Amino acid sequence: MSEVKAYGAKASDADLEQLNIKRRTPLATDVHIEIDYCGVCHSDIHQVRNDWKNSKYPVIPGHEIIGHVVAVGSEVTKFKTGQQVGVGCMVDSCQNCEACDEGLEQFCENGMTATYNGKDKHLGGHTFGGYSEEIVVDEKFVLNVPDNLDIKAVPPLLCAGITTWSPLRQWNVQKGDKVGVVGLGGLGHMGIKFARALGAQVVMITTSPEKSEDAEKLGADEVLISKDDKQMKEHANSFDFILNTVPVGHDVNPYLNLLKRDKTMVLVGAIEPLKGVNGGALIVKRKRLAGSLIGGIEETQEMLDFCGEHNIVSDVEMIDIQTINTAYERVVNSDVKYRFVIDMQSLKK
Amino acid sequence: MSEVKAYGAKASDADLEQLNIKRRTPLATDVHIEIDYCGVCHSDIHQVRNDWKNSKYPVIPGHEIIGHVVAVGSEVTKFKTGQQVGVGCMVDSCQNCEACDEGLEQFCENGMTATYNGKDKHLGGHTFGGYSEEIVVDEKFVLNVPDNLDIKAVPPLLCAGITTWSPLRQWNVQKGDKVGVVGLGGLGHMGIKFARALGAQVVMITTSPEKSEDAEKLGADEVLISKDDKQMKEHANSFDFILNTVPVGHDVNPYLNLLKRDKTMVLVGAIEPLKGVNGGALIVKRKRLAGSLIGGIEETQEMLDFCGEHNIVSDVEMIDIQTINTAYERVVNSDVKYRFVIDMQSLKK
C-alpha cells in the first residue's frame, strides 16, 4: 500500500461510492471549504504506508489545508464566503472535558477527531483529509489566515508550524534566550524562524555541516555541529531551551549536556525509544526532558496571527498531486526544502 | 578498599598525622561541633569503595551529621555553644555566583565543597566527613535543628530528607495532589512522609508486595504494585507528580504512563543510563522527566523547620561505629528500615 492513486477529476460519485466515501451535508455550524493547497507531512506517509498499524483505507491524507470558504452554515459567525482559511490536524473534539476547556483540543479526553484517519462522528467510518477538492469542518476547527501571507507557503504552518510554536510558547522562550533547534527539516526550519522572531539567540544544532548556510539564511545566529566534540563542549550548560525535532529515536544526552541548570529540552518528533537517557544528566543540574504535541486551536490561531505580523511562512516546493509518490520518496530521503505543498488545482488536470 | 578501619578513640594525633589529616583552627565565622550522630548514606559506600572513581583516601565518610556546638568564632551570629545543630552534604561554596545567589549552593558554579571528599579550601587536600568526633564548619552551612525532634532520628533528614523535600517543593506539590513515590528505601520513606504531611494523596509504587504494610504505616494512602499490569493500567494518566527514588538505571516508561498530561516525574536516585525512554510517552501528553539534587541551605533549613512543625523524623536503626562494615553490607542488600545512624559515642569504646 505504498502507492497513492491520484483520482483527480476522475473521482466520480461512483468512485466515491465504491470507496465508501460519503459527502457530508454541511450542518448549521459547518464551514464548507474548497481546498487550494495542502502540505505534505511525514505522517501522511506513515499513515499511507500503515507504519503505525492504525491506518484505515482508503486513506486520504493531508492535514495542512488551505482553502477558501464556499459556504457557511446558518450559525457560523466567524467565517464568510470567500474568506481564506486553514484546517490543521484536528477537525473536532468533545468540547466538554478539562483539556478542551483549556483550549488543548489535541489532548481531548474523549479523543479529538484527526483530520484524516480519525473517527468520523457525523458520517461514521473515518475522516478524509486535505488531498482533496473540498472539506466540511465545524467552524471551531477552522482557522483564519492573515491576508498578507504568501498563501502557497502557509499550509505547513498548520502542522510543522504549530508543532514548533507551541513548545516555544509553553516554555516561555523570551527575547535574548539562547535557543537550540536540533534537526533541520520541516519542523526545524519553522523552529528557527519562530525562535528568531521571538527575539532569541538561535543556534541550529545539526550533524551536517552542509546545512550551515541554509540554517543561517533561515535565521540561525550560529550553527553547532553536534559531531564536533570541541564545539559541543564549548556550548555545554549554556542553552535556555532546546527544541528537538529529530523524528526518530536517538541519543539525547549530548543535547541535554548543552542545557543550563533548570532548563528544558522538548521533543516534538521522536516518538520512538531514546537511547539510554543519562539519569545523572537530569539530576546533576535539574535538567528537564519533555514532549509537546501540535497545539490547540486558539494557540494555532495565535501562531498564524504572529506569522501575519512577522511575515513568516514556510519554505516550500510546490507539486502537482500526480507527483505525490515521488514527493513521498523525497520526503523519506530528506530531500526537500522544507515542505512539499500540493497545488490542488492539479486534481483537475 | 571495601573495609573501613574504625579508629575510634585510638585515632591519636600521631594516627592523624600519619594519615595527613589536619585539624582546622576555627575561623571567626566557624562553628565547632562535637558530633553526636551520623547517618549512613549509600553514597558513603560508593565513596569508600571508589565506585565513582573519584575517591580520595583516606575517606572519612558521613554527611548526615547531628551534633552540638562546643565553640563559635567571634563573628558567628546564628549559633551558640550547646545548641543542637546539623551539617548536611555541603560545608562551603563560593557564595558569589548565580546559583549561590539563588540559595542553590549545591549547584555552585565554582563548585560547592562536599562535606567529605571535597576540595578543602582551608587546609588543602580533601574534606573529612561525619564519622568523626568533631567537625568545624562555616556558620552558613550549619543548620538549626528543632528541639522537639527525636535527635537520633534526625541525621538522615540532612541528605535523604532534603533530597526528597526539594523536588516536592520545586514542583509545587499541593494538598490533594495524587503523588507517587517509586521505591521504598532511605529516600522513598522520607518521600512518603513529606508528601503526606503536605496533604497529598500518597501512592507508594513498588515492585515488592511485601512492602505494602510498611508503606501504609509510613503514611501511604495506597500501594501500587508496579509488576501488576492491571493495577498499573487502572492508575494510568492519574498522577500529579511522581518522585522516583530508584537508585539505579531502570525502565521509567511504566511510571511515565502513570502521569497526567503536563505532569512531571523527578529522578533523585538513578544517575545511570535509563532504559530506552519512550519519546512518545513524553510527547503524547506533554509529560516531563526531570532530576533533582539534594537542596540548598535555605531549603534544608525550611525542611527541618517543617519537620519540627509536623514532628517528622526518619525511621532509623542505631549502630556503633564498630559494626559499620556489616551495616554497609546490609545497606547494599536493602536490609535496613530505613537508615542506619551511627552513635558517635561508640568512637570512644
Q: Confirm whether A64 is domain-assigned.
A: yes
**Could you read off the pLDDT of B244-282 as tens digits, one per residue?**
999 888 999 999 999 999 999 999 998 888 988 999 999
Strands A259-267 and A288-291, sheet pairing: parallel
Q: Does one domain contain both B154 and B19?
A: yes
**Pair (B47, B62) in one structural domain:** yes
Question: Could you say which DSSP state residue B117 is in?
Answer: T
**DSSP states of B17-45 as a string?**
HHTTPPPPPP-TTEEEEEEEEEEE-HHHH
End-to-end C-alpha distance for chain A, whole angstroms: 24
The whole-number average pLDDT for the span A26-30 is 94
Residue B14 lies in a domain: yes
pLDDT, position B2: 43
Closest-CA residue to A180 (of A254, A126, A255, A87): A255
Interchain proximity A107–B270, CB inside 8 Å:
no
**Residues A153 and A43 occupy one common structural domain:** yes
What band does B16 get if pLDDT is binned at 50, 70 and 90?
confident
A194 with A95, same domain: the answer is: no
Q: Please report residues of A whose CB lies closer than 8 A to that of B283.
A: 267-268, 270-271, 291-293
Dihedral pair phi/psi, residue B89, rounded to 5°: -80, -10
B166 shares its domain with B150 = no
CA distance A343 to B253: 42
Are A181 and A202 spatial neighbours (Cβ–Cβ below 8 Å)?
yes
pLDDT in tens, B320-338: 999 999 999 999 998 999 9
Cell, residue A134: 473540498
Question: Strand runs (DSSP E) across chain A, as ranges?
Answer: 30-40, 65-72, 84-87, 90-92, 113-114, 134-138, 143-144, 178-182, 201-206, 222-225, 239-244, 259-267, 288-291, 316-320, 339-343
* B254-B257-B263 Cα angle (round to 5): 130
Chain A hits for B272, CB-CB cut-off 8 Å, are 278-280
Half-sphere exposure of A206 (CA within 13 A, CB side): 21
Is the confidence at residue B317, as pLDDT, over 50?
Answer: yes
Per-residue model confidence as pLDDT tens digits over B57-112: 999 999 999 999 999 999 999 999 999 999 999 999 999 999 999 999 999 999 99
Domain-ending residue, one of A291, A307, A323 = A291
Residue A146 has what DSSP assignment?
-
Residue B10 has pLDDT above 70, yes or no: no
Domain that holds residue A103: 8-159+315-348
The pLDDT value given to residue A5 = 55
Residues B26 and B49 in one domain: yes
pLDDT of A71 over the 50 cut: yes
According to the model, what pLDDT value does residue B271 have? 85
Range with the lowest mean pLDDT among A19-33, B175-189, B230-244, B259-273?
Answer: A19-33
Residues of A in contact with B249 (CB under 8 A): 276, 279
d(CA A124, CA A24): 11
Cα B27 to Cα B76: distance, rounded to the nearest angstrom: 10
Instruction: Tell me the C-alpha distance between B302 and B146, whole Å.
Output: 11
Domain of residue A151, CATH code: 3.90.180.10
Percent of chain A exceeding pLDDT 70 equals 97
Q: Do B290 and A293 touch (CB under 8 A)?
A: no
For the record, the C-alpha cell of B75 comes out as 563573628
- Domain-embedded: residue A309: no
Report DSSP state, residue A185: S
> Which of A272, A273, A287 is the closest to B291 by Cβ?
A287
Query: Model confidence at B164, in pLDDT bands (50, 70, 90)?
Result: very high
Checking if the pLDDT of A8 tops 80, the result is: no
What average pLDDT score do residues B223-239 get?
96
pLDDT on residue B248: 87
Does the pLDDT of residue A213 top 70, yes or no?
Answer: yes
CB B89 within 8 A of CB B106: yes
Q: Mean pLDDT across the stretch A69-91?
A: 97
At A270-292, the pLDDT tens digits run 888 898 899 999 999 999 999 99
Instruction: Classify strands B339-343 and B316-320 as parallel, antiparallel or unpaired.
Output: parallel
ipTM of the complex: 0.91
For residue B72, how far is the Cα from the chain centroid?
A: 26
The answer to whether the Cβ–Cβ distance between B285 and A261 falls below 8 Å is no
Cβ atoms of A268 and A291 closer than 8 Å: yes
Residue given cell 499541593 in the structure block: B174
- Among residues B291, B324, B340, the one where a domain terminates is B291
> Which residues of chain B are within 8 Å of residue A237 when distances are taken between CB atoms?
none
* B242 and B208 part of one domain: yes
CA–CA gap between residue B93 and residue B105 (Å, rounded)? 6
pLDDT tens sequence across A129-140: 999 999 999 999
Residue B254 to residue A248: CA distance in whole angstroms: 21
Same domain, B236 and B255: yes
Instruction: Identify the bridge partners of residue B220 per DSSP, sorted by sequence position.
Output: none
A288 interaction partners in chain B (CB closer than 8 Å) = 264, 288-291
Q: What average pLDDT does range A316-330 have in this prediction?
A: 96
CB-CB: which of A270, A276, A291 is closest to B274? A276
Percent of chain B's residues with pLDDT above 70 = 97
| Chain B positions touching chain A (beta carbons under 8 Å) | 99, 104, 107, 170, 249, 261, 264, 267-293
Residue A68 lies in a domain: yes
Residue A82 within a domain:
yes
Instruction: Check pLDDT > 80 for residue A177.
Output: yes
Mean pLDDT along residues A77-96: 97
Q: Looking at the predicted structure, is the pLDDT value of residue A1 above 70?
A: no
The C-alpha angle with vertex A187 and arms to A186 and A193, in degrees rounded to 5, equals 100
Q: How far, in Å, CA of B313 to CA of B186, rounded? A: 12
| Residue A154: φ, ψ to 5° | -85, -35
**Residue A10 pLDDT:** 54
Between residues A255 and B20, the one the model is more confident about: A255
Q: Decide if B302 is inside a domain.
A: no
Tens-place pLDDT, residues A230-265: 999 999 999 999 999 998 889 999 999 999 999 999
Inside any domain, residue B259: yes
Q: How many domains does chain A have?
A: 2
pLDDT of residue A224: 97
Supply the pLDDT for residue B11.
Answer: 66
Question: Both B164 and B154 in a single domain?
Answer: no
pLDDT of amino acid A2:
43
Instruction: Considering only the beta carbons, identify the residue of B249, B284, B293 that sits closest to A284.
Output: B293
Contact yes or no for B65/B155 (Cβ under 8 A): yes
Q: Both A145 and A18 in a single domain?
A: yes
Q: Are residues A56 and A93 in the same domain?
A: yes
- pLDDT score at A9: 47
Q: How confident is the model at residue B1 (pLDDT cuts 50, 70, 90)?
A: very low
Instruction: State the alpha helices, DSSP H only, in B93-142.
Output: 98-101
d(CA B89, CA B96): 19
Inside any domain, residue B296: no
CATH number of the domain within which B254 lies: 3.40.50.720
Q: Is the pLDDT of residue B203 over 80?
A: yes
Q: Using the 8-state DSSP alphabet, how is residue A171 labeled?
A: T
Across chain A, mean pLDDT equals 94
Q: Answer yes or no: are the C-beta atoms of A203 and A183 closer than 8 Å.
A: no
Does residue B344 contact residue B319 with C-beta atoms inside 8 Å?
Answer: no
Shared domain for A194 and A327, answered yes or no, is: no
Q: How large a percentage of chain A has pLDDT more than 90?
A: 87
Q: How far apart are CA A122 and CA A68, in angstroms?
A: 22
Residues of chain B with pLDDT > 90: what percent?
87
Locate the chain B residue with the closest alpha carbon to A261. Answer: B107
Cβ of A286: how many Cβ atoms within 10 Å?
22
DSSP letters along B264-312, please?
EEEESS--SBPS--BHHHHHHTT-EEEE--S--HHHHHHHHHHHHHHT-
Collect all residues of chain B within an 8 Å Cβ-Cβ radius of residue A275.
Answer: 276
pLDDT value for A193: 98
Give A310's DSSP letter.
H
